[in-house]
Structure 1
Amino acid sequence: MSSEVPLMTLKSLQKEFKDLQKDSVEGCVVWLTDDSNFLEWQVGLFGPPETIFQGAYFKAILTFPLDYPFSPPCIKFISDIWHPNVYPNGTVCISILHPPTADEVSGELPSERWNPTRTVRTVLISIASMLNSPNINSPANVDAAVMYRKWNTNNDPAYVDRIKDLIEKNKSLAESDGVTIPLTLAEYTTHTKPVEDTPDMGDLNLDSDYDYNYSDSDCYYSDEEEYEDD
């Protein structure tokens, strides 16, 4: 099922994308899957230096709903990742990405969930923070949470070994995307663009009636599915 993207949604995403090209989030790079489709962004997430994720590169797809920013986007990793707050299918599960509805089961406060004042920048900051500081109280991947807890409390090496394997595995993916993995704090805080050229936002007329289309994604899931997995 496809629908035309509302102009307000399109303008909002174009502006946010342009802002992130000028002033990126530490440890993240974004680019468009297709220059004609602002509803799907690709995200490169780097592991913070001086942590067990140093040298890591994880790739994800950020998908926006038609009524963004009133509903949250969805972010789903398409590269292998092992993390307590990422479902086995790659979908990220953190409070900021949950719809702004009351939910007694999760125990989340409404202020912790999505609201229209949040932006892609706040989402990326939350994802970058999540990487090395997972929430294991309500995990999306129970096995990863158990492994993390054992490492964090008893220094069990299994979690670190799993991360190291993924770091080595994903190096070739970074090369194919044309990105350089930061290994120092200075590099981590510097914007690193993919090889592909990003669209010239200055040439875009934000008042034009673009004919972008949106297709439903399997990235989204219901609260029932979410808590069943938790």
Structure 2
Amino acid sequence: MAGTSSTNPAIRALQLELKKIHEEPVEGFRVSLPNEDNLFEWQVAIFGPPGTLYEGGYFKVAIMTFPQDYPYNPPKVKFLTKMWHPNVYENGDVCISILHPPVDDPQSGELPSERWNPTQNVRTILLSIISLLNEPNTYSPANVDASVMFRKWRDSVNGDKDKDYERIIKKQVNQTKEEAKKDGVIVPTTLEDYCISAAHLRRPSDDVQFDLDEDFIDDVGDEEDAIETIDSNDDSGQAES
């Protein structure tokens, strides 16, 4: 990836985030750039958490698209892999509070603190999506049919469990295993393997070479100080409310 300096705060923020994700990987997902000259589009794959219906799954996010004013507004996240889930639209768009713009909208039923704010980042988005796989929000579903089916599966008596939701998810998980084979990815299926640093799960081609110039390196401290300041102000605002 080119190390050309830029005064664009979004580019600088994304450079820093991508660098941190590759240096300090988190279990459960892998990140790459389809075009190393375009920091505003990331390719992401999420591994299904062990011990859940999604265990062994390899779910591709088609593109995570960032706005030009990131991190003041959230990216858009869309699954390429077919997902039957209460919080994923049929076209693959992910609908969760953290991806909603930071506006006060009483009609949405969401608290402002649940929406996006500049202290959030790619890591918190992806961890929220992984958590959402096993614990959907059924109060305001993007896929009503999936939400109804999930509730029937969740609330049915163990001895007479409604299997429709489970059957669909397991079918989709099996389909993703073929994709993993094509991509040469070994999907972790045990908690121990899942928690191993994601660096061991990436292929060599996923490694991004960072050629950051001295101006950017000098600005990293300024970026982190700014984030701490925003975080402090945000906490103060919440305390007052």
* Pairwise CA RMSD: 1.5
Higher Cα radius of gyration = 2
| Amino acid across the alignment from 2:195 | T
* Aligned match of 1:142: 144
* Aligned match of 1:132: 134
Query: How many residues were matched structurally?
Result: 203
Q: Which has the higher strand share?
A: 1
Show the 5 A alignment for 1:1-230: 7-60=8-61, 61-154=63-156, 155-190=161-196, 191=198, 192-201=201-210, 203-205=211-213, 207=215
Distance of 2:55 and 2:204 partners within structure 1: 22
Quick check: 2:31–2:206 contact (8 Å CA) kept in 1?
Answer: no
Quick check: 1:95–1:114 contact (8 Å CA) kept in 2?
Answer: yes
Q: Which has the higher helix share?
A: 2
Distance of 1:165 and 1:139 partners within structure 2: 22
| Sequence identity (%) | 51
Quick check: 1:25–1:124 contact (8 Å CA) kept in 2?
Answer: no
Q: Which runs of 5+ in 2 are unaligned?
A: 1-5, 217-241
Q: Return the TM-score normalized by structure 1.
A: 0.84
Q: Which runs of 5+ in 1 are unaligned?
A: 209-230
For residues 176-213 of structure 1, the C-alpha deviation after alignment (integer angstroms, 9 at most, x for no partner) is: 22321110111111212145242211x232747xxxxx
Distance of 1:85 and 1:206 partners within structure 2: 42
SS of the residue 1:34 aligns to: coil
SS of the residue 2:106 aligns to: coil
Q: 1:200 to 1:142 in 2, by over 3 A?
A: same
Quick check: 1:11–1:206 contact (8 Å CA) kept in 2?
Answer: no
Distance of 2:85 and 2:7 partners within structure 1: 35
Q: 1:197 to 1:95 in 2, by over 3 A?
A: closer
Q: Return the TM-score normalized by structure 2.
A: 0.80
Quick check: 1:178–1:195 contact (8 Å CA) kept in 2?
Answer: no
Q: 1:195 to 1:162 in 2, by over 3 A?
A: farther
Distance of 1:199 and 1:75 partners within structure 2: 21
